[in-house]
A and B are shown apart, each in its own frame.
Chain A
Amino acid sequence: AQSVTQLGSHVSVSEGALVLLRCNYSSSVPPYLFWYVQYPNQGLQLLLKYTSAATLVKGINGFEAEFKKSETSFHLTKPSAHMSDAAEYFCAVSKGAAGNKLTFGGGTRVLVKP
């Protein structure tokens, strides 16, 4: 069975500071990994995905994530937080070809302080 752990249900960062959201996964097969963002009153929007190509994945809005197999991690970063980054972020894993359902972590809510 697959699982995803997001460390920290709430993260507070200052505007302009580094955003780091942690995600660790477990998977019995090579995983496909995703980060989604949910802004207030909206659906989940894909930020980026890892599908066994480059281990450093760049996404929208200046976010990127690095797949580290040895650490079973897929942490999300952004060098400089903006007020508009306030949202809830979800890490998810899929088996890909073996089954497309997503297994999500618990989510991390990001608060950006001016």
Chain B
Amino acid sequence: EAGVTQFPSHSVIEKGQTVTLRCDPISGHDNLYWYRRVMGKEIKFLLHFVKESKQDESGMPNNRFLAERTGGTYSTLKVQPAELEDSGVYFCASSQARTSGGVQETQYFGPGTRLLVL
């Protein structure tokens, strides 16, 4: 079974440009999460999709970030326009639908996209 994949693995762009990151979750996983790790800091939650709906986007830094998950399959995270502080590693994770009783499902992470804004 294929794991969570992310594209591109690395991206170097200039301030003011636009970048789109893509995440393909494990097939059949309804939950999709985006996280970000800025250099020297902890990994922080950005948002959570359940199928195509945004369940929680409380971690999105500002309106320069736009996440979509059309059809409930893959997701994209667009940064427009990119700023220097957006540099970091963007992780995507997916998990199956919540079990009865609400037991926490394991989140499976992709390898991340390393974004550098110059």
Contacts and interface: CB of A to CB of B under 8 A. Distances in A.
A7 B45 CA distance: 21
A49 B106 contact: yes
Contact of A45 (B98, B103, B104, B109): B109
B85 interface: no
A89 B45 CA distance: 17
Interface of A: 4, 32, 36, 41-46, 49, 51, 90, 94, 96-107
Contacts of B103: 51, 96-97
Interface residues of B, number: 29
B106 A106 contact: no
Interface in B68-117: 91, 93, 95, 98, 101-112
A105 B102 CA distance: 24
B91 A43 contact: yes
A101 B54 CA distance: 13
24 contacts: A4-B42, A36-B109, A42-B111, A43-B91, A43-B110, A43-B111, A44-B91, A44-B109, A46-B107, A46-B108, A49-B104, A49-B106, A51-B103, A96-B104, A97-B98, A97-B104, A98-B102, A100-B31, A100-B33, A100-B98, A100-B105, A102-B45, A104-B43, A105-B42
A44 B104 CA distance: 17
**Most chain A CB inside 10 Å of its own CB: which residue of B42, B59, B111, B112:** B42
